[in-house]
Amino acid sequence: MVEFYYNYFKGDFMKRYFDILLRAIITGFAIGIGGVVCLSCESRYIGAALFGTGLFVILTFGLSLFTGKVGYAVENKPAYIIDLLIIWAGNFIGTAATGLLVLATRISGIGEKAKTMCETKLSDNLLSIFILAFFCGMLMFIAADGYKTIKNPTAQVFAIFLPVIVFILSGFEHCIANMFYFTVAEMWSAKAFGYLIIMTLGNAVGGMFIPFIRKGFIKD
């Protein structure tokens, strides 16, 4: 009997984690496509606005973006960290796959623009990268939580697109978007991966900042 329940729950958990991974991979493709359109636009303002289409798709279809989920670690059990690691890995797979596929097409020239962006990122110092990622994490939580809590459809759209436009035009660092940019720029290295980890930590701390303040100091 014990073995039966062990196998049952083990199978159930594996299905759940597979679902999380699959949603995260699809999310990576959505972010990658957002990166493609952003790089393809001559106007950075239009590119920033259109990049938000990726987040719109993610939130509308209930997909899994690391920067949109990490803030909820504050109100979840420690096991939620496993979910976040799977989401991060799935996002990596999806964004990297998108980048590699783009490199095999006639629009692969956007890689040159991505290369310039990545060179700027990798020439920055780690404290700067962390701070820029922190602010991006805050904005991504605002977008995700705003979509989740706001009931007005029009306001939901603004909640999604405005934070995205702000983080791109401000030059803040989004670890998942950068997975795509490093891939399409063909600039992966030990240093790039190290910088990605710092961006991830900054996004995580920034994403958890508002929930932490709200939980610890703001009473309903």
pTM of the model: 0.91
Cβ 28 vs Cβ 93: under 8 Å: yes
User: In the CATH scheme, what architecture does the domain 2-213 have?
Assistant: Up-down Bundle (1.20)
pLDDT at 220 (0 to 100): 54
Q: Which of 157, 155, 158, 133 is nearest to 209 (CA)?
A: 133
For residue 188, give the nearest of 106, 104, 95 by alpha carbon. 95
At 219 the pLDDT is 57
User: What is the pLDDT, as a whole number, of residue 8?
Assistant: 44
Q: Where are the domains of the chain?
A: 2-213
C-alpha 189 chain-centroid distance: 20
Q: How many CA atoms lie within 13 A of 212 on its CB side?
A: 10
Rounded average pLDDT per 10-residue block, the chain, 220 residues: 48 84 97 97 95 94 96 92 97 98 97 97 98 98 94 94 97 98 98 98 97 74
